[in-house]
Amino acid sequence: MTRLVPGSITFLTLAFTSFLLASTSFSLAESKHRDERGSFALRSGEMPNPYIPSRGYADGPYGQIHFRDTGEGVPLVLLHQSPQTSKQFTSVYEVLNKLGVRAIGIDTPGFGESDPAPFVPTIQDWAVIVPAVLDHLGIHKAHVLGHHTGAMTATEVALQFPDRVQSVILNGPLPLNDKDRVEFLAGTEEREINFVYDSDGGHLKKSFETRFRMYGDSPDPETITRIVTEKFQGYAPFWIGHHAAFVYDHTEGIKRLTGPTLILTNTGDMIYDYAQMTRKMRPDFSYIELAGGGVDVVDQLTQQWSTAVSRWVLHDSHTMRNK
């Protein structure tokens, strides 16, 4: 082992500093030389400045709950589909904010940056996180929107905590019958619970290709990259999302809803037919249908989706409540 003597640290520091300066001078000179040849250029100037909501954590029954909050307007809780996070609503946070809606996206426990429950969770277990976030923000009542899995959680929030919910938006309800439930759960077992992580990273490519096919018209590789990374980002195995969704009896939950409720769907959604079933079950619910899109309707029909949601939150839901 080399023994350092007094003064050696200073010497080493000076030597290392000189090395860095020389390396930097060489790198800059080489960069300039390559720039002149057109190989690459040093970058400078301003970077794009995207809208980013404030982020925070609330204490919940399973640990910390991560949320995004635009901070102003009529409060609307946004609950994401599986297996994603509150980043699902990245394209609409600013739009909703400008329309007068305070959008509060919450990471379901185990997804994004929210702590997981210490057991295999159900939709009923996830519903309790919403009052915890509202309490943290000092909000008594809010509208609650859920997309796909989130629509079930929104339903359960309204059933468990009706005094905290102004209205519900079911963006893609899923009232499964017993036969469909068995098939959906079998698919979750095969594709998600038994998911194989390839040593060469091939599972990432497969996940990307799957979401690329699901996207519909004009798939955007950058958006799909964000979606796929969300799948693997959480602190729990990603299969818990669809497992909870397909175990949940949304038919019974829909039957029990009593407050103002909007069914929001789009014709390209892979579970569009279930929205029609819900509409037949509850003709008293309001209904909005957007043309086109797919499972990623928030990214695909951003302006139409935001306009429909804000109109409900700011106007139509109050009309329904007064009927």
Residue 248 DSSP SS3: coil
Sign of the Cα torsion 197, 146, 61, 90 reads: positive
Instruction: Look at residue 316 in the predicted model and tell me its pLDDT.
Output: 82
Instruction: Look at residue 229 in the predicted model and tell me its pLDDT.
Output: 97
Which secondary-structure segment (H or E) carries 185?
helix 178-188
Of 288, 250, 293, the C-alpha closest to 269 is 293
Calpha distance 52→289 (Å, rounded) = 29
CB atoms closer than 10 angstroms to residue 106: 30
Of 201, 177, 208, 188, the C-alpha closest to 277 is 177
CB atoms closer than 10 angstroms to residue 318: 13
Question: What value, to the nearest 5°, has the Cα angle with vertex 64 and ends 58 and 69?
Answer: 40
Q: What is the edge-to-edge ordering of all strands in the sheet holding 101-106?
A: 54-60, 63-69, 101-106, 74-79, 142-147, 165-171, 261-266, 286-290
Instruction: Look at residue 18 in the predicted model and tell me its pLDDT.
Output: 44
pLDDT tens for the chain, residues 1 to 323? 434 334 443 433 434 344 333 444 434 344 444 444 455 668 788 888 899 999 999 999 999 999 999 999 999 999 999 999 999 999 999 999 999 999 999 999 999 999 999 999 999 999 999 999 999 999 999 999 999 999 999 999 999 999 999 999 999 999 999 999 999 999 999 999 999 999 999 999 999 999 999 998 889 999 999 999 999 999 999 999 999 999 999 999 999 999 999 999 999 999 999 999 999 999 999 999 999 999 999 999 999 999 999 999 999 887 766 55
Sign of the Cα torsion 132, 137, 138, 142 reads: negative
Instruction: Look at residue 321 in the predicted model and tell me its pLDDT.
Output: 62
